[in-house]
Amino acid sequence: MTEEKTKRIIAKISKIQERNFSSEQLDKLEEYIHQGILNLDKYNNINIERNTLIFSVVFLIFMLFCILFFVVHPILFIEQWTEQDVIKNKIRVETLKTIGLITGGILAFFGLYFGYKRAVAMENSAIAANKTAEAANKNAEIAEDKQITERFSKAVELLASDKIEVRLGGIYTLERIAQNYPREHWTIMKVLTAFVRENAKLIEDSNVQSAKIFIDEYLDNKKQKKELYKVRLDILDTLIVIAQNNPDNNPDNNQRKNLNLSNINLIQADLCGALLKEINLSRANFLGANLSNADLSGANCLGVNFSKADLSNANLSVANLFGATFEEARFSGANLTRADLCGANFTKAYLRGANLTEAKLTMAKLAEAFLTEVNFTKANLTLANISRADLIDANFSEADLTKAVLIGSLLWGANLTEANLTEANLTEANLTEANLSGANLTRTNLTGANLEEANFTKNKTIKPEQIRKATNWEKAKYDKDFWEKLGLPPENSE
């Protein structure tokens, strides 16, 4: 059968060679023929195996028949045997036992053989099933990727619509994709931040220095003010999507640093509880915005305008707030630990109970700010202006206030232990019950300051002439030796 098929193939090849085929066509034909020969070989191997199996079964049946007829059949009449028949057939019985053992061995061999073949067949079936499953999974992934791409493209197209409801549909579609497919999360976030940047740009007007001045000086109608600077609904919803989409299974949360929302206008935006950590918000305008309980930790807020914004209980730890404006902003309970606030403007800001531990406030403006119970432990306030500020019970322990200006500030009960006040100006400051134990008061200006019940113990840098320029200095607490230098009665010394 195989020879006839091979002859037919050779004959076809001869006819093919007589025709004018291209080299590519001939290569394909050769491949088909080669595949056909392989299939023939496979077919022949299957036939050989099948014929061997049939021959083995027939041979076993024949052998069993011979054994039954020539050996087993006479033994069936063993009851009729005489003593001579038993002796005569002893060899036959032993032969039967031997044949039985051999037959059992052969049957066991064939059992093992067919068991092995069945196991191989099952293994091959399992491998084929796994390959089929892998192919199905791969096809499913390809189909899924195609579907995601189509949905993504359609959603991005919707963002360009003139109708706000269509744009919102695109925003929510992108949000759903980001939630269901984490690997697409940051791509979608970058698209949404680009959408906000392009549609919420800062107002550029050479005749108006800032939006705050424009609102305060050029508009009288409060409704007009709100409508003029009201953040679009789609922009606000996009920001909420950006702020809330932070899945725990996100492959790379460090990508937040690549999200860019710089130079955007978010005047009076309601972003209460928003997650904006590590995002680039440089030079954005949050005038009058609600950012209470928001997380801006590690965010880049270089030069951001937070004037009149509500940042109560917000987290701005380790944030870059260099040159930011916080005029009249509310910070009660806010966390600004280790934040960079160099040159920041906190004029008339409300920071009661805020935490500024180890914050950098070099040349910061805190004049007239409400800083009651604020924690400035180990903060750097070099050259800071804290004049006429309310600092009741504020904690400046180990803080650096070198050349800081605290003229007329209220420091009643403030903790200044081991603080560095070198060349600081505390003219007319109220230091009633303040604790300056161990503080560095080298060349500190205390002219007109109220020192009633203030604690100057363990202080080796203070000079009598500095103290005498203050008021109520005789009611303060000093070490015994310094008390004597001031010429005060020894019974009141520490």
Q: What is the DSSP string of 161-173?
A: -SSHHHHHHHHHH
Report how far residue 114's alpha carbon sits from residue 426's, in angstroms, rounded to the nearest whole number: 102
Instruction: pLDDT band for 444, please (50, 70, 90 cuts).
Output: very high
Q: What is the pLDDT of residue 344?
A: 96
Mean pLDDT across 140-160: 78
Are the beta carbons of 425 and 449 closer than 8 angstroms? no
Q: What is the DSSP string of 35-51?
A: HHHHHHHHHHHHHHHHH
Q: What is the pLDDT of residue 234?
A: 81
Are the beta carbons of 360 and 381 closer than 8 angstroms? no
Report how far residue 58's alpha carbon sits from residue 64's, in angstroms, rounded to the nearest whole number: 10
Residue 170 has pLDDT above 60, yes or no: yes
Which pair of tokens denotes residue 444? 């500190």
Q: What is the pLDDT of residue 147?
A: 76
Specify the range with the lowest mean pLDDT, choosing from 36-40, 96-100, 339-343, 360-364. Answer: 36-40
Name 174's Cβ contacts closer than 8 Å, sequence gap at least 6. 152, 155, 156, 188, 191, 192, 241
Q: What is the pLDDT of residue 195?
A: 85
Residue 452 has pLDDT above 70, yes or no: yes
More confident residue, 52 or 320: 320
Report how far residue 53's alpha carbon sits from residue 298's, in angstroms, rounded to the nearest whole number: 77
Burial of 314 (0-12, 13-18, 19+ CB in 10 A): buried
Other beta carbons within 10 Å of 155: 20
Strand-pair partners of 355: 335, 375
Specify the range with the lowest mean pLDDT, choosing from 123-132, 198-207, 219-228, 423-432. Answer: 219-228
Q: What is the pLDDT of residue 215?
A: 45
Instruction: pLDDT band for 91, please (50, 70, 90 cuts).
Output: low
Instruction: pLDDT band for 493, please (50, 70, 90 cuts).
Output: low
Specify the range with the lowest mean pLDDT, choosing from 269-278, 293-302, 419-428. Answer: 269-278
Averaging pLDDT over each range in 44-58, 102-116, 474-488, which range is the top one?
474-488
More confident residue, 6 or 320: 320
The position carrying tokens 């919803």 is 237
CA 80 to chain centre: 95
Specify the range with the lowest mean pLDDT, choosing from 194-203, 209-218, 291-300. Answer: 209-218
CA atoms 367, 368, 373, 374: torsion sign: negative
pTM, rounded to two decimals: 0.66
CA atoms 245, 190, 172, 152: torsion sign: negative
Q: What is the pLDDT of residue 155?
A: 78
Report how far residue 392's alpha carbon sits from residue 413's, in angstroms, rounded to the nearest whole number: 6
Q: What is the mean pLDDT of the chain?
A: 79
Mean pLDDT across 460-476: 93
Mean pLDDT across 250-279: 82
Instruction: pLDDT band for 154, please (50, 70, 90 cuts).
Output: confident
Q: What is the pLDDT of residue 230?
A: 66
Instruction: pLDDT band for 386, please (50, 70, 90 cuts).
Output: very high
Report how far residue 479's alpha carbon sits from residue 436's, in angstroms, rounded to the nearest whole number: 12
Q: What is the pLDDT of residue 86?
A: 58
Instruction: pLDDT band for 227, please (50, 70, 90 cuts).
Output: very low
Q: What is the pLDDT of residue 28?
A: 54
Q: What is the pLDDT of residue 406?
A: 97
- CA-CA-CA-CA torsion for 95, 97, 100, 101, nearest 10 degrees? -110
Report how far residue 446's alpha carbon sits from residue 418's, in angstroms, rounded to the nearest whole number: 17
Cα–Cα nearest to 357, from 338, 330, 334: 338
Report how far residue 308's alpha carbon sits from residue 326's, in angstroms, rounded to the nearest whole number: 7
Residue 175 has pLDDT above 70, yes or no: yes
Q: What is the DSSP string of 365-409?
A: B-TT-B-TT-B-TT-B-TT-B-TT-B-TT-B-TT-B-TT-B-TT-
Residue 180 has pLDDT above 70, yes or no: yes
Name 193's Cβ contacts closer than 8 Å, sequence gap at least 6. 242, 259, 260, 261, 279
Mean pLDDT across 20-26: 53
Residue 359 has pLDDT above 90, yes or no: yes
Mean pLDDT across 106-122: 72
Mean pLDDT across 372-381: 97
- At 181, the amino acid letter reads Y
- Residue positions counted in the chain: 494
Specify the range with the lowest mean pLDDT, choosing from 36-50, 182-196, 281-295. Answer: 36-50
340 phi and psi angles, rounded to 5 deg = -95, 105
